[in-house]
């Protein structure tokens, strides 16, 4: 585990220890608080002894995202008791259910636009972020990928969701929206946590403004061809004072935008070769005239045959925005 995360956890444990001391010395303090205090002290001793984060059963490393969520864990996922495993599975499926409620409606549409997406976590929960928010007569589209995966990434994903949902109500210009969201994200995450994102605003007349914070190229799909549009800025959460340059693109009726996360481009075939951005572009060219849901389906079908149904290792999200008239 990196030193920044270790010092973050040490600080967390010390803060919690203070709180527990106060609470357990009050009149209502009970034995369970004293037990927690003992557990916190034991975790601090493990930090001092250099054994923190090592499974007491197999002596291998405990999963870093679990330690960040709960620095008191002492066993790796493989060595939980039956009871702990059941509790964890229940927690995860609850979290997965909550995460699904954060997604846009599957048949989403507004004046002049229609969207279709595919959201597929590598395990139960995902670090990918996908949202569509009606705003100012048009709408905002947001697609992001939090670094890492699993529970820690999914918590940051829901944090991003809340941040953008709150800021969207203020109808800020795109650069300001990004600057505010970035600052909030920086202030509430530890070093090394960041997210690549595309955030755009689209109007009924086909005008689209967008910012790409270090994200993979988005594709403008039209009868004239498929044009890749590269990132315009650094990922969210890297530097608290960052400017995000805005790009503009105009979609004619029938045109589409294709956005995706690296669960698509980094999927490997049997030879260890990645699917890559060029294949996404070629596929979009072949299906330029397809309806949005057919483009999503074609993408998934090709990915399945490319990877020969290999196990999905990263969260995958596809989003197609279609200008209808
Ligand atoms: Zn273990």
The model's pLDDT over 76-86, given as tens digits with 9 standing for 90+, comes to 989 998 888 89
Average pLDDT over residues 175-184: 94
What pLDDT band is residue 158 in, cutting at 50, 70 and 90? Answer: very high
Tell me the per-residue pLDDT of 47-66, one tens digit each, with 9 for 90 and over: 999 999 999 999 999 988 88
Q: Which residues have their alpha-adjacent CB atom under 5 A from ion ligand 1?
A: 55, 57-58, 76, 79
Contact 64, 1 (CB under 8 A): yes
Q: How far does residue 102's CA lie from ligand 1's centre (Å)?
A: 33
Check whether 190 has a pLDDT greater than 80.
Answer: no
Q: How many CA atoms lie within 13 A of 42 on its CB side?
A: 11
Q: How far does residue 14's CA lie from ligand 1's centre (Å)?
A: 26
Whole-angstrom Cα distance, residue 323 to residue 325? 6
What's residue 29's pLDDT?
A: 66
Check whether 3 has a pLDDT greater than 90.
Answer: no
Q: How far does residue 63's CA lie from ligand 1's centre (Å)?
A: 10
Contact 215, 231 (CB under 8 A): yes
Output phi, psi for 3, to 5 deg: -60, -35
What pLDDT band is residue 205 in, cutting at 50, 70 and 90? Answer: very high
What's residue 310's pLDDT?
A: 83
């Amino acid at each position: 585990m990196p030193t920044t995360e270790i010092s973050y956890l040490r600080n967390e444990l010390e803060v919690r220890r203070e709180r527990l001391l106060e609470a357990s010395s009050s009149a209502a303090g009970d034995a369970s608080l004293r037990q927690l205090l003992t557990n916190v002290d034991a975790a601090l001793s493990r930090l001092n002894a250099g054994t923190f984060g090592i499974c007491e059963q197999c002596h291998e490393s405990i999963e870093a995202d679990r330690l960040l969520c709960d620095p008191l864990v002492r066993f790796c996922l493989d060595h939980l008791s039956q009871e702990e495993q059941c509790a964890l599975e229940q927690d995860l499926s609850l979290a997965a259910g909550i995460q699904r409620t954060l997604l846009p409606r599957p048949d989403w549409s507004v004046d002049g636009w229609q969207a279709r997406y595919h959201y597929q976590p590598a395990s139960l929960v995902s670090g990918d972020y996908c949202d569509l928010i009606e705003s100012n007569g048009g709408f905002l589209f947001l697609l992001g990928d939090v670094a890492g995966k699993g529970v820690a990434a999914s918590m940051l994903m829901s944090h991003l969701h809340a941040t953008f949902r709150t800021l969207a109500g203020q109808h800020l210009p795109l650069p300001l929206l990004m600057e505010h969201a970035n600052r909030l994200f920086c202030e509430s995450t530890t070093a090394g946590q960041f997210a690549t994102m595309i955030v755009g605003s689209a109007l009924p007349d086909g005008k689209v403004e967008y910012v790409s914070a270090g994200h993979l190229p988005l594709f403008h799909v039209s009868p004239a061809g498929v044009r890749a549009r590269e990132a315009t800025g650094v990922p969210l959460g890297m530097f608290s004072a960052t400017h995000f340059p805005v790009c503009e693109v105009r979609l004619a009726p029938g045109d589409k935008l294709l956005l995706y996360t690296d669960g698509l481009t980094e999927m490997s075939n049997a030879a260890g070769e990645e699917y890559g951005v060029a294949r996404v572009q070629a596929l979009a060219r072949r299906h330029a005239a397809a309806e949005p849901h057919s483009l999503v389906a074609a993408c998934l079908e090709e990915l399945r045959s490319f990877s020969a149904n290999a196990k999905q290792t990263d969260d995958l999200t596809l989003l197609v925005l279609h200008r209808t008239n």
